[in-house]
Structure 1
């Protein structure tokens, strides 16, 4: 397959580029500046520079038409740099521009890397949450509520498109080697960034994940087995 990944300089995206390239997939990594250019080329990716904040929808649409990807991945994020305004500009407004550009370019498949517990907090807590989960998520919202709100608004906007989407909601991200995973209606936990990248690639290759939103945590099962399970069971954690 041929992938176009926004946020190509991020750690999850870099793991994705390396692993996908090893399997002979083609990866075009969209980066904000040329800081990661040489590293991405060594990983087998083709870097291209385009700022989510500065580029227009037409700029993005032209890039997508040029690269002709089978799937577009949005794994970008402000990373807490620049305050709430920049987070909103990248994590929400940037993603919406990509969604519109995909539709304009005729690319249907899109995968979004979001975050655990992204939801409308005026609705009831998901029934599978424990007391400890609720407390942990409340602390996250208190600390980075602007980020969580941007991710929620991005997910909601994506669901309103006609794109064939898959949304991954990883837990607390770690720089540990990839291992097993637990997908779907999970408890609050941690996950290796490389594991998220592996789940992202497996999801992109499996059409049964289209239309699903699911949590991604470290666990004991293989990525392929978990992807097969949630695809068959149509596990979706979206609660509105």
Structure 2
């Protein structure tokens, strides 16, 4: 079952792409430029051009799973958050419905279900994610919604948890390595969860596979 990685050139997306190649998981990277396309093809992964702000329909053809790990990034303006994190997500969900995609894994954000309890400087982003997540939940798709905490570039611990302090509006202690998120997605591609799961995800004490099994 081939997986389309939307946001393959992002940090989580690249880590996931590397793991797909290593584990012989059929996958396709959706990227925006021909240079990025060449980079992924040199890695040994199929790559196609597609744009969350433009045409991406053809990128879905021949795929049965979607991983959406795209994001506008912390340095971009709020209007980019609307175009990419909100509208891009919704367009991808609706295309997946039209194309008959069997499984959709969305990488969202911790506290997207209650944006006012998140860090003040990213609440506009959490609102965008909340609305996109709601569209996914109301869709006809079999979905898994991942809500990782504040993402770190440090090496993964191999352990996750879903319990955190809601009163910590800075998310100072609600962190997770991008590597651990990518490893969790890799396991989900091999063995999907029952549909309709929403999973909060921070570093913790449970081995990743053990943690995911809590939702089976």
TM-score scaled by structure 2?
A: 0.88
> Is the Cα–Cα contact under 8 Å of residues 31 and 51 in structure 2 kept in the other structure?
yes
User: In the alignment, does 2:210 pair up with 1:225?
Assistant: yes
Equivalence for 1:156: 134
Equivalence for 1:104: 98
CA distance in 1, matches of 2:111, 2:42: 35
> Is the Cα–Cα contact under 8 Å of residues 165 and 212 in structure 1 kept in the other structure?
yes
Change (3 A) 1:207 1:78: same
Give the structure with the higher percent helix: 1
Equivalence for 2:66: 72
2:196 equivalent among 195, 211, 216: 211
CA distance in 1, matches of 2:196, 2:142: 6
RMSD over aligned Cα, in angstroms?
1.9
By how many angstroms is 1:209 displaced?
4.2
> Is the Cα–Cα contact under 8 Å of residues 203 and 209 in structure 1 kept in the other structure?
no
CA deviation string 1:6-38 (max 9, x = no partner)? 111001011101112111112211112234334
> Is the Cα–Cα contact under 8 Å of residues 184 and 230 in structure 1 kept in the other structure?
no
By how many angstroms is 1:121 displaced?
5.2
CA distance in 2, matches of 1:176, 1:70: 31
By how many angstroms is 1:157 displaced?
0.6
CA distance in 2, matches of 1:19, 1:209: 22
SS in structure 2 of the partner of residue 5 of structure 1: strand
SS in structure 1 of the partner of residue 214 of structure 2: helix
> Is the Cα–Cα contact under 8 Å of residues 33 and 51 in structure 1 kept in the other structure?
no
CA distance in 2, matches of 1:81, 1:172: 15
CA distance in 1, matches of 2:201, 2:194: 13
SS in structure 1 of the partner of residue 84 of structure 2: helix
By how many angstroms is 1:162 displaced?
0.7
Unaligned ranges ≥5, structure 2: 166-172
Equivalence for 2:59: 63
CA distance in 1, matches of 2:174, 2:209: 20
By how many angstroms is 1:81 displaced?
4.5
User: In the alignment, does 2:3 pair up with 1:3?
Assistant: yes
> Is the Cα–Cα contact under 8 Å of residues 183 and 230 in structure 1 kept in the other structure?
no
CA deviation string 1:200-227 (max 9, x = no partner)? 1222333334211111212232211111
Change (3 A) 1:176 1:42: farther
SS in structure 2 of the partner of residue 208 of structure 1: coil
* Matching of residues 31-180 of structure 1 within 5 Å: 31-55=31-55, 59-60=56-57, 62-65=58-61, 68-120=62-114, 137=118, 140=119, 142-180=120-158
CA distance in 1, matches of 2:35, 2:115: 38
Equivalence for 1:237: none
CA deviation string 1:166-200 (max 9, x = no partner)? 01111111111222222434445211111100111
